[in-house]
Amino acid sequence: MGVLEGRIAVVTGAGSGLGRATALAFAREGASVALLGRRLDKLEETAELLETATGQKAMPIQADITVKDDIHAAIGSLVNAWGRIDVLLNNAAVLESGSVLDLDSEEWEKQIATNLTGPFLLTQAVLPVMRANRYGRIINITSGLARNGAGGFAAYSAAKAGLESLTVTTAHEEHEYGILVNLYNPGTLRTEMHAVGKDPSVVTPDLVRLASLSFGGPTGALHSYG
């Protein structure tokens, strides 16, 4: 029996990269997985891979995580179909370079919306369901840029710094309901955002561990690969 046997997980950005790899890892440990993203064809590819490889259920749901109505419709349809949500992985992200001086406001708003507002909206949508069951595991994917800035990625760095603060706040607010909320920094991965780096599957054991933490486990903490 896997460590996520019978659990219901939501993974954003599940059409490729770390999202796809983690969805597969969760399913191999016994979870049914809802796959959220904007590109339905990619989500359906992930669903087919997952079901073929593991025999677990997958539900591809096309949604823009920056749009509140999309999120509420997605979470509502999932709960209606599967009854609850145990795990949320906020993974979807966009990364474009731009200094504070040169970044235009539209690009700033796009990156803040996807990298910070999206995880906020998803967390807000799943918390009532998790509270009702007095169980939840939320994992927010962060980056070293949240803390080191490293010039040239002003919007992305600011969004990830905000996400780290939001994670700690949510952890404090939700601990009494059996909900653990943590950050994970995978380092540089080889994905659509990066041409070089580790294969995403290398870090999925860490994410499985965070998704299956026992009661009393760490919350509001930063975990990193290696």
| Per-residue tokens: 201 | 């599957």
| Catalytic (active site) residue 225 | no
| Per-residue tokens: 35 | 């796959």
Residue 114, helix vs strand vs coil: helix
Active-site entry in 156, 177, 184, 225:
156
Q: Yes or no: say if 88 and 139 are a contact pair by the CB < 8 Å rule.
A: yes
Of 85, 86, 136, 145, the C-alpha closest to 115 is 145
Phi and psi based region of residue 21 (left: phi greater than 0; alpha: psi -120 to 50; beta: remaining)? alpha
Q: Yes or no: say if 131 and 177 are a contact pair by the CB < 8 Å rule.
A: yes
Q: Count other C-beta atoms under 10 Å from residue 132's C-beta.
A: 12
Q: Yes or no: say if 86 and 178 are a contact pair by the CB < 8 Å rule.
A: no
Which residues carry out catalysis?
156
